[in-house]
Structure formats: structure tokens, C-alpha cells
């Protein structure tokens, strides 16, 4: 690999390698390695390293860092919720977007056959290379730089995107958290009321109220939260968040679980 290509890759990764061999191995596909081996003659034959073992290590590092981040960021989630979110964040479907944004296909070292078959654009090869690069960063600089890379390039952008687009991200599901909280307290479920819909069709604003009833069947409301959003769903979620905060601030003791759940649900 030419020096300028290594420098360009380091710029894309925002990491400088002290051991150039490890990053070269990370982008070397087995087709290239076997091709080089087949060209060797005499008694000086040696095995050319490819990125398969690095991919194995990188996959484990990604799973660990992702699990640690989700564990710390969402302490109120059940094991199933954490597993579901982690599965998405480490999935091939998500990782291919990261690999494409980093333009890893440009840097792959491929054998002639793989090159001709369009290997630089193959999802499996790009994702494998990304995971191998994670291992390369870890082996070269330890856990801090690879954790920083994973958070910056893989986790944070996707979590922010899911939140922004109102995806099924558990950290946004204040309505479910509110439902479980009220059930645990033996209280009636709240009612969500659309009180206003304004603006042109392509830029509507929805105003929703969530009303907390002290007892089942009681027409009165102890608390009313009001929120606006570009969709009814986002307005309802924000109103539910307000109600969770209200319950956590009530002077009577409703248990540490409620207070912790409300604070955790509001983490960015």
C-alpha cells in the first residue's frame, strides 16, 4: 500500500498508526493474501497475513464497547431491550453505511478475481474490513482510541439519527416507561388528547396533552402535560416525559425506581 494511501486512510479514520503493518493487514482480503502466496517460489515461502483474524477480534471489541455504552447510557432498560438495540448497532445493515461513509472500499487490497467481481463494493468485504480496522486500532493504540472511534463513527450518529427521526429507539419510549411506572404504582393510565393541529400540510405542528388521573374512572386530572411536535407521536412522547418528571418530583415517596427511571429516560 502506498504511503499516500495510508495517510489518506488515517485521515478518514482520524487515527495515526504507529505500526503500519497492522493497518495493512486490516485491509488485506484473503484473496490478495493467497494470490501473493501463490507467486512465491523456492524455500522462502511464507504465509501472507489477511484480515480474517483481525475481523474476529474487531467484532468482539465492537460488541464489548457497544454493550458497555448502552449499559451506562440506558440503565433503565431490560436485558431484552439492550440486546435488541445492540443487535441493530452491530448489524451488517448498519455497519455497511459506516464503511461506505469512510470509503473503505477504496483502500481494500484484493486479489485479481475479487477485484473483477466488484469486491470493493461488496457489503461483506467492507464490513469485515471495518471490524478488522477496529482490531488494528486496538492493537496499535489500546482500548481508549478504539472506543473513541466506535462511539464517534458507529454509535453516536446512529443513536442521534434514530432519536431525530422518531425511530423505535427505547430511550425515546417515554410512553412505555410511563405506562409501566403507573402500573407499578397502581395508578390509572393517562389519556392523550390532541388539542391543536396547525400549519400547512407539509409542516404541521401537533399539540398534545397527557392527563394523569388519580383514580380509574376519575374525570379529573391531577396533572396535565402539554407538548408540541412535528408528529403526534413525538408530541405524545414529550408530554409523557413531562409526566414522568412530575411523578418523580412528587413529595410523597413513590420509590427510588420511579426517580431513577425518569432521570434515565431523559438522558441524551
Ramachandran area for residue 192 (φ above 0: left; ψ -120 to 50: alpha; else beta): beta
- CA trace torsion 128, 131, 133, 138 (10° rounding): -150
pLDDT tens, the chain, 268 aa long: 678 889 999 999 999 999 999 999 999 998 888 887 677 776 667 777 899 999 999 999 999 999 999 999 877 777 877 888 898 899 998 999 999 999 999 999 998 988 888 989 999 999 999 999 999 999 999 999 999 999 999 999 998 887 776 555 554 567 877 887 888 788 888 999 999 998 888 778 899 999 988 655 445 668 888 998 888 888 888 888 888 888 877 764 344 444 344 444 444 3
- 131, 62 Cβ separation under 8 angstroms: yes
Residues 64-96 as b/e (b if ≥16 CB within 10 A, e otherwise) read ebbeebbeebbebbeeebbeebbeebbeeebbb
Give me the pLDDT at residue 186, please.
81
Q: What is the CA radius of gyration of the chain?
A: 25
What are the tens digits of pLDDT across the range 187-208?
888 999 999 998 888 778 899 9
Domain ranges in the chain are 3-164, 173-265
Give me the pLDDT at residue 166, please.
57
Give me the pLDDT at residue 218, please.
46
Per CATH, domain 173-265 is 3.30.160.20: yes
Give me the pLDDT at residue 178, please.
84
Give me the pLDDT at residue 169, please.
57
- Closest CA relative to residue 111, chosen from 50, 47, 30: 30
Residue of 24, 50, 59, 128 with catalytic role = 59
List, in order, residues 6 or more apart from 8 with CB less than 8 Å away: 107
What does the alpha-carbon distance between residue 199 and residue 181 come to, in Å, rounded to a whole number? 34
Count CB neighbours of 30 within 10 A.
17
What does the alpha-carbon distance between residue 79 and residue 85 come to, in Å, rounded to a whole number? 10
Q: Which residues pair with 210 in a beta bridge?
A: 192, 225
Provide the edge-to-edge strand list for the sheet that holds 191-198: 191-198, 205-212, 223-229
pTM above 0.85, yes or no: no
Is residue 201 flagged as an active site residue?
no
List, in order, residues 6 or more apart from 73 with CB less than 8 Å away: 171, 267
The residue behind cell 390509572 is: 188
Residue of 131, 153, 158, 236 with catalytic role = 131
Q: What CATH code is assigned to 3-164?
A: 1.10.1520.10
Is residue 59 flagged as an active site residue?
yes
Amino acid at each position: 500500500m502506498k504511503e499516500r494511501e495510508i495517510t489518506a486512510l488515517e485521515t478518514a479514520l482520524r487515527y495515526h498508526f504507529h505500526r503500519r503493518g497492522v493497518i495493512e493487514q486490516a485491509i488485506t482480503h484473503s484473496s490478495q493474501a493467497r494470490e501473493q502466496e501463490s507467486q512465491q517460489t523456492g524455500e522462502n515461502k511464507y504465509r501472507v497475513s489477511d484480515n480474517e483474524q483481525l475481523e474476529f477480534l474487531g467484532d468482539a471489541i465492537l460488541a464489548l464497547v457497544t454493550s458497555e455504552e448502552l449499559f451506562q447510557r440506558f440503565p433503565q432498560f431490560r436485558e431484552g431491550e439492550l440486546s435488541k438495540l445492540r443487535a441493530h448497532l452491530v448489524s451488517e445493515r448498519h455497519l455497511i453505511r459506516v464503511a461506505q461513509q469512510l470509503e473503505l472500499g477504496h483502500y481494500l487490497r484484493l486479489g485479481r478475481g475479487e477485484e473483477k467481481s466488484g469486491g470493493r463494493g461488496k457489503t461483506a468485504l467492507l464490513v469485515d474490513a471495518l471490524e478488522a480496522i477496529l482490531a488494528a486500532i486496538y492493537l496499535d493504540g489500546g482500548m481508549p482510541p478504539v472506543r473513541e472511534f466506535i462511539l464517534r463513527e458507529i454509535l453516536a450518529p446512529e443513536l442521534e439519527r434514530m432519536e431525530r427521526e422518531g425511530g423505535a429507539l427505547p430511550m425515546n419510549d417515554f410512553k412505555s416507561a410511563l405506562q409501566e411506572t403507573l402500573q407499578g404504582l397502581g395508578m390509572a393510565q393517562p389519556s392523550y388528547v390532541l388539542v391543536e393541529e396547525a400549519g400547512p400540510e407539509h409542516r404541521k405542528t401537533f399539540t398534545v396533552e397527557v392527563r394523569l388521573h388519580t383514580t380509574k374512572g376519575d374525570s379529573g386530572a391531577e396533572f396535565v402535560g402539554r407538548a408540541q411536535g412535528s408528529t403526534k407521536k413525538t408530541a405524545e412522547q414529550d408530554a409523557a416525559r413531562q409526566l414522568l418528571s412530575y411523578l418523580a418530583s412528587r413529595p410523597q415517596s413513590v420509590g427510588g425506581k420511579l426517580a431513577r427511571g425518569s432521570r434515565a429516560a431523559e438522558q441524551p
